[in-house]
Structure 1
Amino acid sequence: MLSFFTDPYPNELLYSAISRYHFYIGNVGFAETLEELFGNRAVTPSIDFGSNLSTFVKKVGNNYSVEKILTENTIYPFFAPFITEEKQKMVFEDVSGNSGGLKGRLGISSTKVVKKDGVFYCSRCSKEDIEMFGEPYIHREHQLPGIDYCPHHELLLRVYPVNYTEHSRTGYIRLDKRMMDLGNSNDDTPKEFKKVQITLAKMAYKLLELPNNKITLVNVFNKYRTLLRENNWITRNSAVRQEDLLVAFNSKFPKGFLEKYNSDMKISNENNWLAIVVTNPNRQGVHPFRHLLLMYFFNQDIESFLMLKEDEGPFGSGPWPCLNVAANHYKKFVITEVKVSKREKTDIIIGKFKCSCGFEYTRLGPEKTESEKWRKNRVNAYGEEWEAKFDELVNMNMHREEIAAALGISESTVRSKISIKNKSEQRTEEYRSNLLLWRKEFPNANRKQFQREFIKIFTYLYKNDRKWLDENLPSKRSDMLQDMGQKIEGYRSLILKEKKNDPKVTRSKLWYKYNRACKCLYEHDFDWYSVNFPATIKNRRNTSHVDWDARDEEYYQKIIEIYPNLLSLEKPVRILRGLFSKRLNLFYLSIMDQMDKLPKTNKLLEEITETVQEFQIRRCCIVIDKMLEETGVVRFEELRETCAVGTPYFKGIKPYLEEYILKKQNDKGI
């Protein structure tokens, strides 16, 4: 055990403390220092994380531990919240040894966020360190990748003139105040960039202060889901509105900011880092700096983000209340499980809640407020306890309105249930006769139609005479269980009958009119289908010759002539292909398949057609010209309202407009 080691200063990197130890101990070469601290002369210094910490701790004494050094004297806390709990444990093992798999574990090796090459410092922090400790040292908050400003003094970080990557493979750099620029210097960073970077720097510093492994990637993902749900970025089927989110995200930052830090994305790229962060909780390797960008987008700092409640799904976390008014546990949270499903056509989420008392209800999701826990969209089953209470109220000769109010149901439901309970042979025979007469009058009608028209009769027979009902008015399910041979014979006769009635009937018309029959015959009786169905009618292509070169030149000249007129319209319109097609009555301009035959015209259209953003900028520039001419001043809020540009989109085009205004003022000599 060593008799002396330089205890690290507040937020000092272990790398920096070792460099000071080497200086104080007076070793001639770094190999001796490495031997003393790590018992190995071949250890490679790591400025960010360190390695062989278990050996280091044994050498320097009991006041140190691997966990303490990792938490207080490396940049690991910057990465910890954005990896899984399993990887957090593996990182501890990595730094205890040679740190071989550490960078891959943290996702550093695969990211495009630029790693800092060199040692960075804040001039004012260094001055304060010299006054307090007599020497400067390397702060870990100044070495965080992507962070360019000091979180304490809001000053642009400076690069120490000695590059540690070139200094020595086994050497350590100690800050020397004689080589540092501690004076004031100009910062030419654009104001918009500086504002964002200072905020990110303060957020990054807060991450360094978090207790060891306080949260994991799963917690972070669920908090993002909460923010997405609150801001309506999640659809009813729990999917994320990725395109809308990406447009809003890009407009949050000054133009060129995301590009500077290799974090820009395009809508056409589905595998962008933003989509990964908000849709895949198991996908790791997204850099912490990008997580900070997303928190900034949601107007969150680290404290408010940690206080967020994690998203618990479309219906929250259980237990859920039983809404059986007849039960002693009414409105008590006794339901422990919910079955979540989706409607096929609409993707609407449905939650099914079933209590041990037999009461079962469904609710559409997702929940947006706490009060929605007490809502039910449909009751699937009432249960014995509820039915007993209903019978009790009926036997007391209570009025239907009173029963409905007491049990939370409608009067029509009360009437229907009383009718069902009044079972008798006379009523059963009467309802059977009614159904048979209806079938005789409408032989091709189905069970669903009868249920809609005669809900009372259908409900009575369904509850009290189910077997007879299924035999005389089978459901689709019964029809599906019908012998396939019988079904095919029926469908064959149906198609042959239609062909006999209409000899000119086409295959498309048969599929439109008898879709189920055609599909069944196609899948299960294809040989018969091929022989007996009408032949397909092939489209005949027009093979007349067209001189496409001459047409290309003609269209090109017409567009050149009309383009200036479209730009000078009193009410600006967006320049699109369809606009030229409509104004010039040129049909082919709207058919992209034909544009390959018109290369000159197509190239021109690609150059002059406008995106939504380009049109917004042009329209705003026209209004800016009027404002400068009339008052000499441009008020952005008035400009935004006049041009009817949404706030998120206006933020995206504002840098272009400011540049345009500056140019106009310079031209006029203002």
Structure 2
Amino acid sequence: MVNLLTFFTDPYPDELIYSAISRFHFYSGNTSFVETLEELFQSRSLVPSIEFGSHFSTLVQNLGSNYSVESLLAQNTVYPYFAPFITIERQKKLLEDVSTNGQGIHGRLGISGGKISRKQGLFYCSKCANNDINIFGEPYVHREHQLQGIDYCPHHELTLKMYPIDYREFSRNGYIRFDRRQMDLSELQEIESYEFKEVQVKLAKMAYRLLQIPINQFSIEKVFKKYRTLLRENNWLMTNTRLKREELFKAFISKFPQGFLEKYESLVTVNGQNQWLQIMVTNYLRNSVHPFRHLLLLYFFDEDIDSFLEIKEDDGPFGRGPWPCLNKAAKHYKDLVISDVEIKARDKVLIGKFSCSCGFEYTRVGPDKSEDDKWSKSRITAYGKVWEEKFEKLVSLDVSREKMALELDVSLKTIYNRIASKETSPELTEKYRAELLEWREKFPNANRKQFQTELKKTFTYLYNHDRGWLDAKFPSKRDTLHTPKNPDITLKNNTENRIEYYRSLLLDAIKECPDVTRTQLSRKFQRAYKYLSETDKEWFDANLPRKRQATTITNATDWELRDQEYYQKIKEVYPELMALEKPVRITGTLFSKRLNIFNLSVKSYVEKLPQTNKLLNEISETVQEFQIRRCCKVIDRMLEEDNAVRFERLRESCAVETKYFKKIKPYLEEYISKKQKKT
């Protein structure tokens, strides 16, 4: 039978229910804690819990309609500190735990395996205690001062002090009430207490803010998706799921003062396995992670609780599907008809490939920064039948190239190239056949892929208009991989061809640059060098440069003479590179390839050549400088042809992404203004 109490010491703001019960015991006049337990919980053997409590269903029945299990849990325990970092299922079960005997609480919250030590006593802030005495006439136990891992008061930024009475020695069934006579109410702080203060105060403020959030508003499922958003925005994800683990861990460790993570039992090592940080951001269902460590991650991301709550949950690097078809020739243009995206990583950059049933395929570099990115594409990888039919129709109608580019949503250069690829004649065929045969004679061991790379225009023409002759003279790789009647002979022939080709690569490099070293050859021709060193050792040792001692090289090299030689070569070839119809970015690597000087792209090597180094520094281009030069070249042509510049058409012609084009646009506008003034 439940008996309503005639009075109860209603909890003060942020007071633990444990503290309110201790005051009830004091004011009720009960001489034994067992009597108090009987009145509140109808049990004489209940063991008090400082942080959480138990048997709340019985307690609220005795207290009356002003209380509920949920309100006590949310307002008068430390549970809101943990709630956002456990699953929805555990949240429901924990409500059942506190309603009854509370035996499963610590396991569900991950406290038992969390490795963050529980506070061995009751804590208070001197200034808070003085304020409580002035306002309420007595001090009480604030829940924000009992949070594990938190050593500072979030309100006054003072270190917390431990109440001198140890609850572990006080009484098994007892409740400790703060007595002002037992407390150090001085607000002076020891100098030693200021170690790590800046970090700890921020963590304390975040922890207190957690106590104000409704306990059902968030769960680890939602928090994890927000973490993914932060990881993606900060470029810590390599693919949709794979983490840049080493880089992330190094950055995380460097964020905190030395010794901080060790002191607060949250050490992270770069090479360690199954660490709490990895669990938090990759597999939250594996184990519960202590809320203090979640605060450390938020601190690392420079987030507070309010800003974190505003973060959008991650839907993947390219948002939530479906995605639009960006085939402007199709009736379903910009309709959300693509249900899947294929995600790959290239040079640590995410690439999303979107394929429509009409055959149109495009890619986009991710992750998306805004919802508007869904309507953009980086590159078209396949046009499809619908697009091709529209292209053929526009060509037959003799529509202008510019209008075709607009109607098909491609660059003007693409239109010119596709029209050129359709043009054929016996004269052109003979011309391109001769180019291939000449190139083949010069490089007899080269493969079809190299031909396609070196003579792209020639290859494209022959592939489209003379494929039978091309395949006969230069079989594709897949043709040579068909299983023959006598595989042993074919395997032998393929091996011999491979050896001959690799030999020719190294010999040509040695011929063009006699002073090349083995190290330089191994870097430039990695596969050939390794293969010949393992399978053709006798030829390898006989024909490659001898291994040189470092001292011999240093003493034998006339750096001044080499500096003058390289300087002159670069100075001669530079105007040719700048005059190329198709601009190329001027870099040390470019000169290295053009002049067959292997080390011009190696900074430590070039620094030994002062004239060469100075010249390279003067003429080498950043990516932005090259984009500006390339755009200016197109601007000159536009002004000459139309006496006007359309920036969107300019951007497409120069293949500059929108976000980078915005940065260089002011320079282009200034260039256009100067050009127009001259005319």
TM-score by length of 2: 0.64
Contact in 1 for aligned 2:111/2:290 (Cα 8 Å): yes
Distance 2:527 2:155 in 1: 72
Structure 2 residue 328 is matched with structure 1 residue 325: yes
- Which position in structure 2 is the counterpart of 1:399? 400
- Which position in structure 1 is the counterpart of 2:504? none
Q: Residues 307-386 of structure 1 correspond to what in structure 2 (within 5 A)?
A: 307-327=310-330, 330-331=333-334, 334-343=337-346, 346=347, 348-368=349-369, 372-386=373-387
- Which string of whole-angstrom CA distances, capped at 9 and with x for unpartnered residues, describes residues 627-659 of structure 1? xxxxxxxxxxxxxxxxxxxxxxxxxxxxxxxxx
- Say which of 117, 132, 137 aligns to 2:120: 117
- Which position in structure 1 is the counterpart of 2:221? 218
SS in 2 for 1:353: strand
One-letter code aligned to 2:353: K
Distance 2:19 2:159 in 1: 21
Distance 1:229 1:290 in 2: 20
Distance 1:192 1:211 in 2: 33
Contact in 2 for aligned 1:20/1:174 (Cα 8 Å): yes
Distance 2:158 2:317 in 1: 45
Distance 1:497 1:79 in 2: 67
SS in 1 for 2:309: helix
Distance 1:356 1:490 in 2: 41
Contact in 2 for aligned 1:81/1:220 (Cα 8 Å): yes
Task: Classify 1:139/1:189 alpha carbon distance in 2 versus 1 (closer, same or farther; 3 Å).
Answer: same
One-letter code aligned to 2:59: F
Distance 1:481 1:58 in 2: 82
- Which string of whole-angstrom CA distances, capped at 9 and with x for unpartnered residues, describes residues 571-605 of structure 1? xxxxxxxxxxxxxxxxxxxxxxxxxxxxxxxxxxx
Structure 2 residue 257 is matched with structure 1 residue 274: no
SS in 2 for 1:9: coil
Task: Classify 1:218/1:477 alpha carbon distance in 2 versus 1 (closer, same or farther; 3 Å).
Answer: farther
Task: Classify 1:158/1:191 alpha carbon distance in 2 versus 1 (closer, same or farther; 3 Å).
Answer: closer
Q: Residues 76-225 of structure 1 correspond to what in structure 2 (within 5 A)?
A: 76-191=79-194, 193-225=196-228
- Which position in structure 1 is the counterpart of 2:661? none
Distance 1:214 1:498 in 2: 65
Contact in 1 for aligned 2:343/2:350 (Cα 8 Å): yes
Structure 2 residue 268 is matched with structure 1 residue 265: yes
- Which position in structure 1 is the counterpart of 2:662? none
Task: Classify 1:499/1:175 alpha carbon distance in 2 versus 1 (closer, same or farther; 3 Å).
Answer: closer
Structure 2 residue 315 is matched with structure 1 residue 300: no
Structure 2 residue 65 is matched with structure 1 residue 62: yes
One-letter code aligned to 1:391: E
| Greater Cα offset, 267-276 or 165-174 | 267-276
Distance 1:415 1:282 in 2: 55
- Which string of whole-angstrom CA distances, capped at 9 and with x for unpartnered residues, describes residues 231-258 of structure 1? 4444578654444444444444344333
Distance 1:247 1:55 in 2: 50
SS in 1 for 2:342: strand
- Which position in structure 2 is the counterpart of 1:390? 391
- Which string of whole-angstrom CA distances, capped at 9 and with x for unpartnered residues, describes residues 325-366 of structure 1? 3345545655443121345xx454321112354421112333
How many residues align? The count is 513
Cα RMSD (Å) of the superposition? 4.3
One-letter code aligned to 2:109: L
- The Cα of 1:195 is off from its aligned counterpart by 2.8
Distance 1:250 1:439 in 2: 56
- Say which of 227, 230, 233 aligns to 2:230: 227
Contact in 2 for aligned 1:2/1:61 (Cα 8 Å): no
One-letter code aligned to 1:27: N
Contact in 1 for aligned 2:317/2:366 (Cα 8 Å): yes
Distance 1:58 1:106 in 2: 26
SS in 1 for 2:486: helix
- Say which of 234, 256, 259 aligns to 1:256: 259
- Which string of whole-angstrom CA distances, capped at 9 and with x for unpartnered residues, describes residues 434-492 of structure 1? 99989997986654356456767866786799899889866434544525x63333113
Distance 2:532 2:285 in 1: 46
Distance 1:236 1:408 in 2: 29
- Which position in structure 2 is the counterpart of 1:53? 56
Task: Classify 1:370/1:487 alpha carbon distance in 2 versus 1 (closer, same or farther; 3 Å).
Answer: farther
One-letter code aligned to 1:490: T
SS in 2 for 1:363: strand
One-letter code aligned to 2:390: K
Task: Classify 1:252/1:360 alpha carbon distance in 2 versus 1 (closer, same or farther; 3 Å).
Answer: closer
- The Cα of 1:136 is off from its aligned counterpart by 2.5
Task: Classify 1:47/1:478 alpha carbon distance in 2 versus 1 (closer, same or farther; 3 Å).
Answer: farther
- Which string of whole-angstrom CA distances, capped at 9 and with x for unpartnered residues, describes residues 38-72 of structure 1? 33333221111112223333343333222222111
Distance 1:272 1:321 in 2: 40
Task: Classify 1:244/1:339 alpha carbon distance in 2 versus 1 (closer, same or farther; 3 Å).
Answer: closer
Contact in 2 for aligned 1:352/1:363 (Cα 8 Å): yes
One-letter code aligned to 2:115: K
- Which position in structure 1 is the counterpart of 2:492? 492
Contact in 2 for aligned 1:416/1:456 (Cα 8 Å): no
- Which string of whole-angstrom CA distances, capped at 9 and with x for unpartnered residues, describes residues 165-208 of structure 1? 22122221122233333344443345452333222221111000
Structure 2 residue 102 is matched with structure 1 residue 74: no
SS in 2 for 1:341: strand
Task: Classify 1:365/1:476 alpha carbon distance in 2 versus 1 (closer, same or farther; 3 Å).
Answer: farther
SS in 2 for 1:31: helix
SS in 2 for 1:317: coil
Task: Classify 1:31/1:317 alpha carbon distance in 2 versus 1 (closer, same or farther; 3 Å).
Answer: same
Task: Classify 1:423/1:65 alpha carbon distance in 2 versus 1 (closer, same or farther; 3 Å).
Answer: farther
Contact in 1 for aligned 2:279/2:286 (Cα 8 Å): yes
Q: Residues 5-24 of structure 1 correspond to what in structure 2 (within 5 A)?
A: 5-24=8-27
- Which position in structure 1 is the counterpart of 2:597? none
Contact in 1 for aligned 2:159/2:189 (Cα 8 Å): no
One-letter code aligned to 2:386: E
Distance 1:419 1:496 in 2: 39
Contact in 2 for aligned 1:192/1:254 (Cα 8 Å): no
Task: Classify 1:477/1:254 alpha carbon distance in 2 versus 1 (closer, same or farther; 3 Å).
Answer: same
Distance 1:213 1:133 in 2: 31
One-letter code aligned to 2:13: P
Contact in 2 for aligned 1:6/1:17 (Cα 8 Å): yes
- Which position in structure 2 is the counterpart of 1:565? none
Contact in 1 for aligned 2:122/2:162 (Cα 8 Å): yes
- The Cα of 1:116 is off from its aligned counterpart by 0.7
- The Cα of 1:6 is off from its aligned counterpart by 3.1
One-letter code aligned to 1:350: I
Distance 1:253 1:514 in 2: 46
Distance 2:493 2:360 in 1: 47
- Which string of whole-angstrom CA distances, capped at 9 and with x for unpartnered residues, describes residues 54-104 of structure 1? 333334333322222211111011011122222222222322232222212
Q: After the TM superposition, which segments of 4 or more aligned residues of structure 1 sit over 6 Å from their partners?
A: 419-424, 426-444, 460-473, 496-500, 511-519
Task: Classify 1:372/1:18 alpha carbon distance in 2 versus 1 (closer, same or farther; 3 Å).
Answer: same
Task: Classify 1:396/1:113 alpha carbon distance in 2 versus 1 (closer, same or farther; 3 Å).
Answer: same
